[in-house]
Chains A and B, each alone.
Chain A
């Protein structure tokens, strides 16, 4: 039967955990469909990591080693991956949904005239292959069926366990010419995050507001007094920061700060994945939202279905009264 090609990803010289998770999905599909798994490792120095990967993957592990692959570059990556695709002729290409994966995977799909499905968190290989992913920011799930192959699919990091198998794989270096001068997108640098004026990660109590607040003035009127009464700090979801109501340093989520306070109050936040990733480690979560179906209630310890403009001021008043 056909091949499944796993595109691994190096981070600081090591293959990411997410690549071993891809391997778990690849093996599950291979077992159900009678496919074989092969992989590719691309980077500057790849030999040791390719050997390590082969010991868990089995099958051939192709390598493309080139100094221009040290930092992510879409043109260089596409050239290297194309070489592995030519070798493996895969039915299915699996990629992690990471900042590099989501950048090159659709481009590879278009180059190969292949189907594309992204950010999957599960598969169903019992019948025709189906990918499961979220849509509408987590409000709905979708089952996406493959109509024709090849297909390129990206997977959410953390969606499954990393593959821990022992296997006897082989490493094969591919000779790929990459013309550094012909790269159209040029890597300049990676900038580390700047020191934050507010460190939400150390806060014991965080009161966060979402898009439902409607404006910066409402944060001052409604959210800040509650945070102050509790001796906590103010946080926010991404739309609030995007709209400029609060500075970026207040953002809780995968692209902001990942927090783990003793108490997290989420007011008017629907609970998109990107926010939940940043706050699900809180010890106690109170969610206030007018939509009873909001995904935030799935991670909350206590929920209030109602109008935050009534509930939050009432809570502020009650806390002040309790403190005397």
Chain B
């Protein structure tokens, strides 16, 4: 199978977030980035297919500035075969639909049997790109997939619903699967893999290369981000660990639980 995986590089989950000067995003200087958690599960799902069928090819694609090459190299180290780096300011500045148009054109050029993506991103939390790419590439999709089995070119996907229910759907390749976190156990890159990754190709592509130049005007845009006003704040206990523990014990006694 030919498999395309879209990876987004996002601020590290423990990074300190400060609003940027223009107020529309966070300061990206001096913080660590990592592969979006959902996307690392998507990559693992692709690599599992390659484990079963060595003739499979896994292509990873990411859009963003130079820093995203690090995410692509990590994916290559884990076992992906080659990478596409969409590097264009107009892509970085567009909205979800603009990015989806760009990625759909990557798919149209590569013609994968299956596309794996994360269900959403840890930063924007939009959960928009996957169904959009599926629509624009003209294939069926399933979102929030927490279990997946494959029989030839047929996939059985279990979608997470509310209240612990699961919706089971069947779809045939070519298709797009947007995975939920926890669908698998994500592997680490081996030392050998990291060495091999250095020789694997990372192809840069511009909006022009992908046929989307001039089509990326954002239809919606973040005008401001801010730390939400606290609706209520807990009483914060002060003191040494032992002093705090004593205060908590007193409280738990007061609640009649000790």
In the complex, 30 of the A-B residue pairs with CB atoms within 8 angstroms, ordered by the A residue number, are A74-B131, A103-B159, A106-B100, A106-B132, A110-B97, A110-B132, A115-B97, A115-B219, A116-B126, A133-B125, A135-B222, A143-B222, A144-B222, A144-B223, A148-B219, A188-B168, A188-B170, A191-B167, A193-B165, A230-B258, A238-B182, A242-B182, A299-B232, A302-B237, A303-B237, A311-B244, A314-B244, A318-B242, A319-B249, A319-B252
Give the docked Cα–Cα distance between A193 and B165 (Å). 5
Q: How many residues of A contact B (CB 8 A)?
A: 91
Closest B residue to A98 by beta carbon equals B162
Within the complex, what minimum Cβ distance (angstroms) separates B12 from chain A? 11
Q: Are B134 and A107 in contact (CB under 8 A)?
A: yes
Give the docked Cα–Cα distance between A297 and B227 (Å). 14
Give the docked Cα–Cα distance between A286 and B123 (Å). 27
B142 lies within 8 A of chain A by Cβ: yes
In the complex, the number of residue pairs spanning A and B with C-beta atoms less than 8 Å apart equals: 263
Closest B residue to A254 by beta carbon equals B162
Per DSSP, are chain A's interface residues mostly helix, strand or loop, or mixed? mixed
Residues on B with C-beta less than 8 A from A310 are 241
Residues on A with C-beta less than 8 A from B222 are 135, 142-145
Residues on B with C-beta less than 8 A from A297 are 230, 233-234, 236
A161 lies within 8 A of chain B by Cβ: no
Residues on B with C-beta less than 8 A from A241 are 182
Q: Are A106 and B130 in contact (CB under 8 A)?
A: yes
Q: Are A74 and B165 in contact (CB under 8 A)?
A: no
Per DSSP, are chain B's interface residues mostly helix, strand or loop, or mixed? mixed
Residues on A with C-beta less than 8 A from B127 are 102, 106, 118-119
B226 lies within 8 A of chain A by Cβ: yes
Residues on B with C-beta less than 8 A from A111 are 135
Give the docked Cα–Cα distance between A75 and B169 (Å). 12
Q: Known interface pairs A106-B130, A314-B242. Does A238 touch B224 (Cβ–Cβ under 8 Å)? A: no
Q: Are A186 and B171 in contact (CB under 8 A)?
A: yes
B192 lies within 8 A of chain A by Cβ: no
Q: Are B252 and A190 in contact (CB under 8 A)?
A: no
Q: Are A109 and B97 in contact (CB under 8 A)?
A: yes
Closest A residue to B228 by beta carbon equals A141
Q: Are A311 and B162 in contact (CB under 8 A)?
A: no
Give the docked Cα–Cα distance between A145 and B170 (Å). 37
Q: Are A204 and B125 in contact (CB under 8 A)?
A: no
Q: Are A102 and B143 in contact (CB under 8 A)?
A: yes
Interface residues of B (CB under 8 A from A): 11, 13, 17, 19, 26, 37, 41, 95-97, 100, 122-136, 139-144, 156, 158-172, 175, 181-182, 185, 217-228, 230-237, 241-242, 244-246, 248-249, 251-253, 255, 257-258
Q: Are A144 and B132 in contact (CB under 8 A)?
A: no
* Interface-centre pick from B128, B129, B224 (highest chain A CB count, 10 A): B128
Contact of B220 among A136, A147, A255, A256 (CB under 8 A): A147
Within the complex, what minimum Cβ distance (angstroms) separates B27 from chain A? 12
Interface residues of A (CB under 8 A from B): 72, 74-75, 98-99, 102-107, 109-111, 113-119, 130-131, 133-148, 151, 184-193, 204-205, 211, 230, 238-239, 241-242, 244, 248, 254-256, 262-263, 283-287, 292-293, 297-306, 310-311, 314-315, 317-319, 322-323
Closest A residue to B135 by beta carbon equals A110
Q: Which 5 A-B pairs have the closest CB atoms?
A: A115-B219, A193-B164, A303-B234, A242-B182, A184-B140
Give the docked Cα–Cα distance between A148 and B168 (Å). 37
Q: Are B249 and A315 in contact (CB under 8 A)?
A: yes
Q: Are A99 and B170 in contact (CB under 8 A)?
A: no
Contact of B161 among A99, A110, A301 (CB under 8 A): A99
Q: Are B140 and A185 in contact (CB under 8 A)?
A: yes
Q: Are A145 and B125 in contact (CB under 8 A)?
A: no
Give the docked Cα–Cα distance between A98 and B226 (Å). 25
Within the complex, what minimum Cβ distance (angstroms) separates B222 from chain A? 5
Q: Are A151 and B219 in contact (CB under 8 A)?
A: yes
Give the docked Cα–Cα distance between A145 and B19 (Å). 18
Contact of A116 among B133, B220, B246, B255 (CB under 8 A): B220
Give the docked Cα–Cα distance between A123 and B257 (Å). 43
**Assuming A139-B17, A145-B220, A298-B231, what are 16 further A-B pairs, CB within 8 angstroms?**
A103-B131, A103-B159, A106-B129, A107-B141, A139-B227, A147-B219, A193-B163, A193-B166, A244-B185, A248-B182, A255-B164, A263-B255, A298-B233, A306-B241, A314-B245, A322-B253
